[in-house]
Structure 1
């Protein structure tokens, strides 16, 4: 065989490899090893007579992978690609590793917003991934008849044998698995959790009241929310409010969470990472959560906590779920719940303290409904506290817990979908970009300004400023996501945040540490799937007199 014929054979095999991956996307390790390594090595024998054994191996591998990468690249930027109609930066069209690089720096929320500002309401952020910033796409994409979750949730969980409710893609199975969660966060259940919540918030108050000098309020909120979820999920066993993060658990959760962004963008990598010595922090975090969850399941319920409902100890279902399913849900609750609530609390306090007029107004509202001697841990007046709700809502509008949104995708093999005016081909991931949507001037007046009054104006409780149009599109405000896959713990989170604000502002005075510029915290916002702040929140706390 002539050397040119041998090279053509190697290149042809590479094209066949591209066709196979384009159609089936195999992740089975033996198949991947054969396609990407053993096949070109075997074909190198055709080149041995012309180049010798060593050089033949190099030439075969270089030719095979060169043709394969060229073929993939040309296809992805060609007009024949299924999402070629959508604009986006060239590196993102070529590879999802471009977004991994942006995501690892924690600034993907700002990058995607800049892409929307440049390209419009729909932008291609990966070879098969698009981001949408259009309020009219929210209900079609995330509503009852919308798209199920995409593959990233399963990947970020490192491909568990039984996926938790958040990663279930089949709508019928998701609705069935969500039932115990709905019971666990019903009005009746929330009332049962109040003593546990009161205990942890009281301990938070006591600890803060006894602190001297400046404290990092964000850290204390993290410890309190973690202790509460420890009581909720495991029936106790955590005491960060007393001992701090002496075991490094919170640091482990933070570091492990940051590692999720890679699998969010490259889901297939989780199949290999699970079996190879990769992402040790993510594995450590999930292994720890699994061990605690298994121990709690074996111990049984001593109180009506979250596990009481997840394991059907309330007897609401005819058949109790298998142990693996309950444990999978417990791991989800352990990892997902505490850092989301603490981030809203920290960001809300940060903003009312940097704008003292809001701090004073909110404290006055607390004093109105819970004067000295009144129990601010009793939620009987929370629904009347409109400015407190406005502060929390404005915080979640400006700093959504999941800045880059919840990934959705057509179910593989079920065909293409149309979301409003947007065509979503089979095999394409998409999302509503919450950060961009919440900061779109078409939907919110002064979108980059912390202005809680906007929610009061929208409800007719205050008048809009004269001389400029007022925009407030309620459909563009989705802090707890939207539709049947929205945040099931929304009601508990709202009660928890209101209770923290009312009890702390009734009994304590807060002031930012002198010399600290609160604006610097804005520059430390990072998006690692869940929002995080690298900057502390240094405050001085004293008892109210």
Structure 2
């Protein structure tokens, strides 16, 4: 009785080991289910989505990662230019995102009273800060915060800030005088100057970059933050996942420096300024006044946030614009000659080497036209300034874009639109800003500083700085290309 049962057991087990399997394994079924789910998603987004009739590349119907890739590469402005050339005034660039260069649509999106709030693209930049004018997405919160600090940036405040700016410009001119006849990277020196100006107007003391003649760690951090933000903003959930895993994997995103090392840099500058004291009513002094008047609404965290924003936003943007102005003047010698003649005439009674006043620079019509033209043809913003379509939706030509969709425009592409600026849109021609009857069309494509309630709060300070330094530089020096055939490199 024992032996047969054992033999049966052996035979039974043997058959089990060698019997061929039939059907799919659990892993195969899971893979097929995921593949089919993705396929149905792609088909829905391509054919049944409310955006299915908006033209655009096929990959845009189901993925945002291709946008993240171009954000990382730094060629977003070139990508969006090509897409508009291929598909027209409105293009689908993501499963839930479109871009447009329609002047009517742009006015609705960014104009006065707009209810198009900022998208999730801005969330990683704000991080955990409760006070951030640039990245704040709630319209009412942004409005209330802006009212608190508006006076610190108002036109009436410029007169008090101008002497601090003059100090930095004088030092810049003296530095260049000692380096006459040298071949130098003027683009770098404009960056060092712009960063030192921020130190002067915010803390009554330059950061010392022009003394060192090279970038500081803080400036390098800003560049890393900008590149990181450019791609992470396209897939903002990456930031959320990163923050959850931060205790395990550590920091892996450079954009967090805006809430970390750059914030610490701002804190050190504030502490240094408080310790040494100053009778200057600089930007920090104004923030302290707001803090004392409204400590609940504008606490110390808000004060640090505003000073950090001054540092991060006020230097790179100004340097880019100054580079553009000088680059296009050098590429167009007739424009350079005309501008220098205007500057010389307006300042002929001034002592040598003195700094051009903002009042003088503002009265130079061709100078102002040159600045507007350079910022039109080479806007500092190349990517899509994302907004969210409100409840009522928006009609753009034959396309209705429903609520919740991300929409926007690229100021770089918009500023080169032939539909707004004519067949010579890509030609540097300052005279267009001095011609009668064209103002509305010109300004409808000009978003160099944003628009309406989201207009850059530091616009007045930046414009004064650029007007004064450009006029003073060309009054004192002849600037030439080291190699006229070398084109500049653009990184968005």
1:451 and 1:126 map into 2 onto residues whose CA distance is 35
Distance 1:119-1:247 versus aligned 2 partners, 3 A rule: closer
2:110 and 2:382 map into 1 onto residues whose CA distance is 16
Shift of 1:162: 2.0
The answer for the alignment partner of 2:435 in structure 1 is 457
1:123 is paired with a residue whose SS is strand
1:247 and 1:220 map into 2 onto residues whose CA distance is 12
Distance 1:508-1:148 versus aligned 2 partners, 3 A rule: same
Could you tell me which of 332, 337, 341 is aligned with 1:364? 341
Shift of 1:507: 1.4
Larger Rg: 2
Is the contact between residue 454 and residue 472 of structure 1 (CA under 8 Å) also seen in structure 2?
A: no
Shift of 1:96: 0.6
CA deviation digits over 1:180-200, x for unaligned, max 9? 332111123211111211111
The answer for the alignment partner of 1:283 in structure 2 is 256
Shift of 1:368: 0.7
Asked if 1:228 corresponds to 2:193, the answer is no
Could you tell me which of 408, 423, 427 is aligned with 1:431? 408
2:174 and 2:336 map into 1 onto residues whose CA distance is 21
Distance 1:490-1:134 versus aligned 2 partners, 3 A rule: same
Asked if 1:525 corresponds to 2:484, the answer is no
2:453 and 2:258 map into 1 onto residues whose CA distance is 28
Shift of 1:395: 0.3
Distance 1:210-1:237 versus aligned 2 partners, 3 A rule: closer
CA deviation digits over 1:457-504, x for unaligned, max 9? 2469xxxxxxxxx99543222221211111111111111111001211
Shift of 1:316: 5.7
Distance 1:458-1:402 versus aligned 2 partners, 3 A rule: farther
Give the TM-score of the pair, scaled to structure 1: 0.78
The answer for the alignment partner of 1:384 in structure 2 is 363
CA deviation digits over 1:5-45, x for unaligned, max 9? xxxxxxxxxxxxxxxxxxxxxxxxxxxxxxxxxxxxxxxxx
1:130 is paired with a residue whose SS is strand
1:250 is paired with a residue whose SS is helix
Q: Name which of structure 1's ranges 161-170 and 134-143 shifts more when overlaid on structure 2.
A: 161-170
Map of 1:495-514 to 2, 5 A cutoff?
495-513=464-482
CA deviation digits over 1:22-73, x for unaligned, max 9? xxxxxxxxxxxxxxxxxxxxxxxxxxxx989xx9574365245324422332
Shift of 1:349: 0.6
Distance 1:477-1:458 versus aligned 2 partners, 3 A rule: farther
Shift of 1:228: 1.2
1:526 is paired with a residue whose SS is coil
2:215 and 2:84 map into 1 onto residues whose CA distance is 43
Could you tell me which of 207, 224, 239 is aligned with 1:238? 207
Is the contact between residue 356 and residue 471 of structure 2 (CA under 8 Å) also seen in structure 1?
A: yes
2:446 and 2:96 map into 1 onto residues whose CA distance is 27
CA deviation digits over 1:99-125, x for unaligned, max 9? 112222222212212211222211111
1:369 and 1:172 map into 2 onto residues whose CA distance is 45
2:165 and 2:430 map into 1 onto residues whose CA distance is 26
Give the TM-score of the pair, scaled to structure 2: 0.85
The answer for the alignment partner of 1:268 in structure 2 is 237
The answer for the alignment partner of 1:10 in structure 2 is none
2:260 and 2:388 map into 1 onto residues whose CA distance is 28
The answer for the alignment partner of 1:89 in structure 2 is 57
2:464 and 2:475 map into 1 onto residues whose CA distance is 16
The answer for the alignment partner of 1:216 in structure 2 is 185
Shift of 1:317: 4.6
Is the contact between residue 311 and residue 320 of structure 1 (CA under 8 Å) also seen in structure 2?
A: no
The answer for the alignment partner of 1:536 in structure 2 is none
Distance 1:280-1:428 versus aligned 2 partners, 3 A rule: same
Is the contact between residue 416 and residue 426 of structure 1 (CA under 8 Å) also seen in structure 2?
A: yes
The answer for the alignment partner of 1:179 in structure 2 is 147
Could you tell me which of 20, 33, 39 is aligned with 1:70? 39
2:303 and 2:365 map into 1 onto residues whose CA distance is 38
CA deviation digits over 1:284-332, x for unaligned, max 9? 4542211022334556474322233334448665855122223233332
2:343 and 2:368 map into 1 onto residues whose CA distance is 12
Is the contact between residue 132 and residue 305 of structure 2 (CA under 8 Å) also seen in structure 1?
A: yes
CA deviation digits over 1:493-525, x for unaligned, max 9? 111111001211111221111x4414x22xx22
Structure 2 gaps of 5+ residues are: 1-19
Could you tell me which of 344, 368, 372 is aligned with 1:393? 372
Map of 1:24-173 to 2, 5 A cutoff?
58-59=27-28, 61-79=30-48, 81-146=49-114, 147-157=116-126, 159-173=127-141
Is the contact between residue 56 and residue 83 of structure 2 (CA under 8 Å) also seen in structure 1?
A: yes
Q: Name which of structure 1's ranges 256-265 and 320-329 shifts more when overlaid on structure 2.
A: 320-329
Asked if 1:200 corresponds to 2:168, the answer is yes
2:437 and 2:340 map into 1 onto residues whose CA distance is 21
1:423 is paired with a residue whose SS is strand
Could you tell me which of 286, 292, 315 is aligned with 2:265? 292
Aligned residues: 458
2:479 is paired with a residue whose SS is strand
Is the contact between residue 154 and residue 163 of structure 1 (CA under 8 Å) also seen in structure 2?
A: no
Q: Name which of structure 1's ranges 219-228 and 473-482 shifts more when overlaid on structure 2.
A: 473-482
Structure 1 gaps of 5+ residues are: 1-49, 461-469, 528-545
Q: Name which of structure 1's ranges 297-306 and 204-213 shifts more when overlaid on structure 2.
A: 297-306
Is the contact between residue 117 and residue 388 of structure 2 (CA under 8 Å) also seen in structure 1?
A: yes
The answer for the alignment partner of 2:219 in structure 1 is 250
